[in-house]
Amino acid sequence: MFVFTIFVLFIFFILYKLLLIVPMREVNVIERLGKFRAVLKPGFHFLIPFFDRVAYKHEIREQVLDVPPQSCISKDNTQLEVDGLVYLKVMDGKLASYGIENYRLAAVNLAQTTMRSEIGKLSLSQTFSERDSLNESIVREIDKASDPWGIKVLRYEIKNITPSRKVIHTLEKQMEAERSKRAEITLANAEKAAMINLSEGERQEAINISEGQKLKRINEAKGTAQEISIIAKAKAEGMELVSTALALDGGHEAMNMQLKEQFIGQVGKILNEAEISVVPAEMAKLEGFFEGMEQVTHAVSSSSTGSNSVKGGRS
């Protein structure tokens, strides 16, 4: 029974060494008597027990490697601490096994050295604004160096770029100054726009007023012209009627009577409204004659009185 148990275990051990199932996510590198034989892809395979063995197993899915933070010096001598992520994939299991000892460690170290070199070509502001081009440059350089290792670097992503505390303090001051500058520029532009709008409003107001005055004068002129035209037309029609009436018998007498009535009416109106005495011309001449005679009589009386006084003095 003991021998049978040993035999069964031996058979299971032989089957274990004979049969190999490779998972879908990896490839296995097989060595026969210490020498590379084949790279087995996912699936079911047979091996020669005690001759063939699985030397290496490689993940064929895309792998993410964390690049530790490291100190870098930018082009303008600013100290930065940068870390990132490397995305790679095993393309050739044989090269990944025999081309380098540890492709993961090699990829991380190569990413660090390449990152220091690329950041040294850029200034501090460029490291923030040109992050995409920096990632592409690092991927390109790592991919060239890692081609003999049987891996493909798909992309590189910078996680953090951290300047020193002094640089951060300086950047904060610079940002405050920049914000103050932008605020002043914004206020100045707002005041400028307000003044422009105000001047435009005043200009438009003056234009509107002048246009209104122009239209008013035009309308007044048109009204005056129409009034003059109507009055002139009425006068012409009146003169025509007057001339027609004068041509009739008794027209002149009627006209004289009409003029006298108008004269009397106007004189009465003047006498009622005037603040000074108004008399007809003939009466004014008589009044002037009597005033002149009174002045002459007064002058003669004064002369006679003076002569008498002289005679009395002499006697």
Q: Is 273 part of a structural domain of the chain? A: no
Whether residue 260 lies inside any domain: the answer is no
Residue 204 in domain? yes
Whether 89 and 152 have beta carbons less than 8 Å apart is answered as: yes
Asked if residue 275 is part of any domain, the answer here is no
What's the mean pLDDT in 108-122?
A: 87
Q: Which residue is associated with the tokens 């993410």? A: 64
Do 102 and 155 lie in one domain? The reply is: yes
Q: Which of 118, 137, 163 is the last residue of a domain?
A: 163
For 243-280, what is each residue's pLDDT tens digit? 776 666 666 666 676 666 776 777 667 767 666 655 55
pLDDT of residue 315: 40
Residue finishing a domain among 236, 260, 286: 236
Cα separation of the two ends of the chain = 213
Confirm whether 297 is domain-assigned.
no
Residue 69 and residue 158 in one domain: yes
Residues of the domain holding 228:
165-236
The Cα–Cα gap between 17 and 32 comes to 13
Question: For residue 94, what is the domain's CATH number?
Answer: 3.30.479.30
**Overall number of domains in the chain:** 3
116 and 181 housed in the same domain: no
Give the phi and the psi of residue 216 in degrees, each rounded to 5. -60, -50
HSE value, Cβ hemisphere, 13 Å, CA-based, for 80 = 27
Q: Considering the domain boundaries, does residue 71 fall inside one?
A: yes
196 shares a domain with 140:
no
Q: 121 with 85, same domain?
A: yes
pLDDT value of residue 311 = 43
Average pLDDT taken over every residue of the chain: 78
Pair 78, 145 in one domain = yes
Please report the pLDDT score of residue 142 as a whole number.
84
pLDDT at 300 over 50: no
List, for residues 176-234, the tens digit of each pLDDT value: 888 888 888 988 998 888 899 888 888 888 888 888 888 888 888 888 888 888 887 87
Q: What angle do CA 38, 42, 45 make, to 5 degrees?
A: 60
Q: What is the pLDDT of residues 6-60, one digit of tens each?
A: 766 767 667 666 777 788 888 888 888 888 888 888 888 777 777 878 888 888 8
